Amino acid sequence: DQQVKQNSPSLSVQEGRISILNCDYTNSMFDYFLWYKKYPAEGPTFLISISSIKDKNEDGRFTVFLNKSAKHLSLHIVPSQPGDSAVYFCAASAGRGQGGKLIFGQGTELSVKP
Amino acid sequence: ETGVTQSPTHLIKTRGQQVTLRCSSQSGHNTVSWYQQALGQGPQFIFQYYREEENGRGNFPPRFSGLQFPNYSSELNVNALELDDSALYLCASGAGGSYTGELFFGEGSRLTVL
């Protein structure tokens, strides 16, 4: 049972344009959502997060949107840069003290072309 | 501030053998989680330790076990290795029973079971 799904395995975007990565979840108990970025031969790196009490969180070029009724979140990167090329994982957690237990999606490989 | 370090980075074992993977948490962190990442998949939660006690476990059999030490370093032990155990094993540390889920990952230990 895949509780967090990223249905697009890959995405290719031109430098300077917007990248939109999508994520769907099924468990309504999830109350915290995160995006991680992973380069080859490195561990995942935290990018941005959002609590379920919000619908938007912004940090520089990165914005995460949460639509609780649709159980959907998205990560927007504007403008996209070649250094953003990596695998992006959506993750979710449920309940206080469960922060170490993250449920990850399968990942989306973003390629930003110069 | 030191990051999360894991050892060994790569290892090869045969079916039926046992393996121990090690992790040194980021300074100041008292929560450690272990994840298994199969090729092309997102990380899957194995278990979490908080102040040397197991604090949450994913859908993994008992032959996956762990320890957290007073200095917050950690071990993952896998007995009776199976071919499907071949994966990247990631250790992640966080602070204070980490509610937010912002974890800091090591680079991983890549295990190949022949």
Distance between A21 CA and the closest CA of chain B, angstroms: 15
Q: How would you class B59 by CB atoms within 10 Å of its CB: exposed for 0-12, middle for 13-18, buried for 19 or more?
A: exposed
Q: What is the pLDDT of residues A61-106, one digit of tens each?
A: 999 999 999 999 999 999 999 999 999 999 998 865 555 688 999 9
Which of A21, A98, A106 to substitute to test the interface with B, most B CBs within 10 Å? A98
Q: Is B109 on the interface with A (CB under 8 A)?
A: no
Nearest to B4 by CA among B36, B29, B37, B38: B29
**Beta strand pairing call for A108-113 and A10-14:** parallel
Number of neighbouring beta carbons within 10 Å of residue B44: 18
Per-residue pLDDT of chain B (114 residues; tens, 9 = 90+): 468 999 999 999 999 999 999 999 887 788 899 999 999 899 999 999 888 888 889 999 999 999 999 888 999 999 999 999 999 999 998 876 555 567 889 999 999 999
B59 at the A interface (CB within 8 A)?
A: no
The phi and psi torsions of B28 (rounded to 5 degrees) equal 90, -5
Instruction: State residue B2's pLDDT score.
Output: 60
- Burial-class residue B29 by CB neighbours within 10 Å (0-12, 13-18, 19+): middle
- For tokens 């070029």, name the residue: A61
